[in-house]
Structure formats: structure tokens, C-alpha cells
């Protein structure tokens, strides 16, 4: 790990990290999206062969009901027990988050103002491929969407070399009543869900993590539908001092390196701990600070995806943390419990975007609608004010739309 100063250029560069949209990636993704837009399913088959090395027919893109049900034959029974525990925790957390509609009525003039919440009709969920099935991504995205009231969930995930989807992913999707699952990955899957093809339906929002091509595709299709966030490489920052267990610090920093391009940062007041960690962990950064207040300032500027506070009394400083996707307190709250079982979604802001955004929640799947109802008495009460403001902005027709209601 590199030791860097709080005021150094390297620290500033760390704070300024964000998603670098390489021109090569941008252009590749642009062409893929355009191809999917023009040729639909034919383009999806082409890119599945090119990138996933799998020859599929259009009719085999969608996972069949038989494949979904057959998935249970290829998984261990105790996996379902563990899965149900995770689903229970995630469900319990998000049920508490459900917002309530409200109404305000003025009894004197009859004004009624309402804010009501409407779930999105459909979402597209992307589950990355790779060497292992990311089953947690499925329930960490689908559960809050279902609790919010989303009616239709479509899932895309790359096929393996056999042209199938991992049975664990299918079992989770089946338990959560995912409506449709497709063996399509990469930027082409994002384009398909955003634009729609003959086989894959167009959705209202695309959610889920992915590589730089998937992320760039989400950036480019925004506007055709909504997206959750532009997620970059996974991150962890740890605040530790002389009282922290170095073995726990090392384990959590190393765990982050399992993610492709994962970023690990240790913020510490202890020079001794810094020297020890530097020898034991190869990747990442160490920021030496004078005290815990300075540690808090460092973290707020970095705005990490995950923050672990491993000092003696973490509750004393947690209220001062303004920018972090998720915070883990004490030696027995490793980030991994948030990844899998705690309850809140592990889909979190990265690249410093925790300064202005939050992790996936119920609110990502709900629209707010405002309802305004005025009586004639209520409109008369604000008539002069509305006309004055409309005249000030030079909008004569706006002014007239109120005035006409009081002409004899």
C-alpha cells in the first residue's frame, strides 16, 4: 500500500477519482446500442457469439419455465435455507422504508394538496457474469423493487460456455418471481432492456452493476429509460487507530482486492499500524492523520462506497460522517455482512458519488405525483399574485389562463 499525505497531490487525485469514460469504450458502446436499436434480436445474437463465445438462437434467449424449475435439482438444500434468511433480512429492512402518501386540505378556501407515490411499472435487472454466480445481486435489487410495488421484473445475465445460466441465479430469480430471464450480457443487454427488441421488452428503469461497458451503456441509454447509478469499481475505507485489531483491518482490505480494480484505503492515526499494514497488504492507500477529527475530514472528502470504523468507540464519530454509501461500526461488522445478509442493498454509490447520492432503495422504484385541487374561492385568493408573477416573466397567456376565470 502507498502511504500518502492528507494535503498531497496523490490524495487530491484520490478524492477526484470518478468514472473515466474512455473514448474507445464510449465508441464501442455507441455502436452496440445503435446496432441493437436497428437490428434488435439479430444484434443480440451476434454480440453473444462475439463476446460470450456462445451460439444462441433467438428462441433460446429466454430462460424457459422448465429451466427455472430444473435449477433446484442442481443446488444444495442448505443454499435455500441461507437464501431465505437473507431475503427475510432484506425484506424487513425495505418494508420499513415504504413512504406514505399524504393530503393537506385548507378548510376555509377548499385548497387540497396531495403527494402520492406510484411504483414503476417495469424494471430491467442486470446480473454480471464471471467466474462465480452473483446471486446476492439478484435479491439485493429485486426485493426493494417488489416491495415498492413494481409489477414486472426482467433480468438479463450472460450465458456460460454451455449456453445456460447458473442454477443458483435461476433459483433466486424463481423464488422472487422474476417475470422473464434472458441469456444476454454486456452493453447489448442494457440496450435491449432500454430500447426493447422483438423478444426483450422495453422497461422503465435499468438497475444493477457491471463492467465499464455495461456502465457506459447505462450512461448512454439514460433518457430512453431511467437508471439506478453509474457504478464503478468497489471501494472500502477503514478508519483505524492503535486500538484496532490489525488482523481484521488486513482481512477487510484484502477482501476488497477480490473485486476487479477494487480500491482499499486505510485512514489511521497510528504510524505503527500504518507500517505493519503496508508490509501485509500490497494494493491500496494509507492516509496518516493527526487525530480522528482529521480522519473524518479525510473520509468525507473521499466519499467511499463502504466505510468501516474500527476504533474503540465508533459511535462517537459516526454522526460526523457525511459522505459514505454504507457505514460499518466496530470490529464485528465487516463489509461482507452488508454484501450478503444484513438487509440494506449492496448496490451503493462509488467513485466519490456518495457525496451526492445514496444506495439503492425503495425510492429508486417509486415516482412521486403531486395533485393540486383549487376551488374558485382559493384561486381568487391567489389571483393577483399569479398574474403579477406571470406578467413579470412576460408570459401573457399564463396570465390570461387565470384572468379568464374571473371575467363576467
| CATH label of the domain that carries residue 280 | 3.40.50.1980
Q: What's the pLDDT score for residue 20?
A: 61
pLDDT confidence bin for 238, thresholds 50/70/90 = very high
Residue 156 main-chain phi, psi, to 5 deg:
-120, 135
64 lies in the same domain as 190: yes
Instruction: Answer yes or no: is pLDDT of 354 > 70.
Output: yes
Range of the domain at 155: 23-106+119-227
187 lies in the same domain as 238: no
* Residue 223, phi-psi category: left (phi > 0), alpha (psi -120 to 50), beta (remainder): left
90 lies in the same domain as 177: yes
- How many domains, the chain? 3
- Among 365, 379, 374, 372, smallest CA distance to 115 is for 372
Q: What's the pLDDT score for residue 263?
A: 93
Which has more confidence, 261 or 142?
Answer: 142
Residue numbers annotated as active site: 305-306
Strands 112-119 and 102-105: antiparallel
pLDDT tens digit string along 84-109? 999 999 999 999 999 999 999 988 88
150 lies in the same domain as 237: no
Question: 227, 242, 264: which is the final residue of a domain?
Answer: 227
Instruction: Answer yes or no: is pLDDT of 266 > 80.
Output: yes
Under 8 Å between Cβ of 168 and 68: no
364, part of any domain: no
Question: 196, 227, 258: which is the final residue of a domain?
Answer: 227
362, part of any domain: no
pLDDT confidence bin for 19, thresholds 50/70/90 = low
206, part of any domain: yes
176 lies in the same domain as 82: yes
Q: What is the largest CA-CA distance in the chain?
A: 86
pLDDT tens digit string along 70-80? 999 999 989 99
Average model confidence (pLDDT) for the chain?
Answer: 94
93, part of any domain: yes
Q: What's the pLDDT score for residue 248?
A: 97
- Among 154, 91, 157, smallest CA distance to 129 is for 157
112, part of any domain: no
Question: 227, 242, 266: which is the final residue of a domain?
Answer: 227
Q: What's the pLDDT score for residue 193?
A: 98
Q: What's the pLDDT score for residue 16?
A: 85
Instruction: Answer yes or no: is pLDDT of 124 > 90.
Output: yes
Amino acid at each position: 500500500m502507498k502511504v500518502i499525505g492528507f494535503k498531497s497531490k496523490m490524495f487530491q487525485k484520490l478524492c477526484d477519482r470518478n468514472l473515466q469514460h474512455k473514448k474507445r469504450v464510449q465508441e464501442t458502446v455507441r455502436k452496440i446500442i445503435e446496432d441493437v436499436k436497428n437490428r434488435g434480436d439479430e444484434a443480440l445474437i451476434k454480440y453473444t457469439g462475439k463476446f460470450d463465445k456462445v451460439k444462441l438462437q433467438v428462441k433460446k434467449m429466454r430462460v424457459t419455465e422448465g429451466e427455472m424449475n430444473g435449477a433446484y435439482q442442481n443446488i444444495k438444500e442448505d443454499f435455500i435455507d441461507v437464501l431465505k434468511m437473507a431475503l427475510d433480512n432484506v425484506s424487513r429492512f425495505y418494508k420499513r422504508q415504504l413512504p406514505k402518501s399524504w393530503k393537506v386540505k385548507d378548510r376555509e378556501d377548499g385548497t387540497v394538496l396531495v403527494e402520492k407515490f406510484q411504483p414503476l411499472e417495469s424494471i430491467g435487472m442486470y446480473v454480471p457474469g464471471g467466474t462465480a454466480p452473483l446471486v446476492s445481486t439478484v435479491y439485493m435489487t429485486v426485493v426493494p423493487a417488489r416491495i415498492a410495488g413494481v409489477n414486472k421484473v426482467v433480468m438479463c445475465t450472460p450465458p456460460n460456455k454451455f449456453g445456460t445460466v447458473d442454477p443458483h441465479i435461476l433459483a433466486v430469480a424463481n423464488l422472487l418471481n422474476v417475470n422473464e430471464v434472458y441469456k444476454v450480457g454486456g452493453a447489448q443487454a442494457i440496450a435491449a432492456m432500454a430500447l426493447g427488441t422483438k423478444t426483450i421488452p422495453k422497461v422503465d428503469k435499468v438497475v444493477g452493476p457491471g463492467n465499464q461497458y455495461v456502465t457506459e451503456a447505462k450512461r448512454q441509454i439514460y433518457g430512453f429509460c431511467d437508471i439506478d447509478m453509474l457504478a464503478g469499481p468497489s471501494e472500502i475505507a477503514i478508519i483505524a487507530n492503535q486500538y484496532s485489531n490489525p488482523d481484521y483491518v488486513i482481512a477487510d482490505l484484502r477482501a476488497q482486492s477480490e473485486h476487479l480494480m477494487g480500491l482499499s484505503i486505510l485512514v489511521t492515526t497510528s504510524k505503527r499500524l500504518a507500517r505493519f499494514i503496508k508490509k501485509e497488504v500490497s494494493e491500496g492507500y494509507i492516509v496518516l492523520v493527526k487525530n480522528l477529527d482529521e480522519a473524518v475530514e479525510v473520509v468525507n472528502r473521499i466519499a467511499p462506497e463502504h466505510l468501516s470504523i474500527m476504533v474503540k468507540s465508533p459511535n462517537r464519530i459516526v454522526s460526523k460522517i457525511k459522505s459514505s454509501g454504507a457505514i460499518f461500526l466496530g470490529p464485528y461488522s465487516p463489509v461482507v455482512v452488508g454484501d450478503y445478509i444484513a438487509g440494506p442493498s449492496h448496490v451503493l454509490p462509488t467513485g466519490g458519488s456518495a457525496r451526492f447520492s445514496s444506495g439503492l432503495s425503495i425510492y429508486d422504484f417509486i415516482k412521486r405525483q403531486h395533485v393540486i385541487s383549487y376551488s374558485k374561492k382559493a384561486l381568487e385568493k391567489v389571483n393577483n399574485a399569479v398574474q403579477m408573477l406571470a406578467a413579470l416573466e412576460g408570459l401573457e397567456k399564463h396570465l390570461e389562463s387565470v384572468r379568464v376565470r374571473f371575467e363576467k
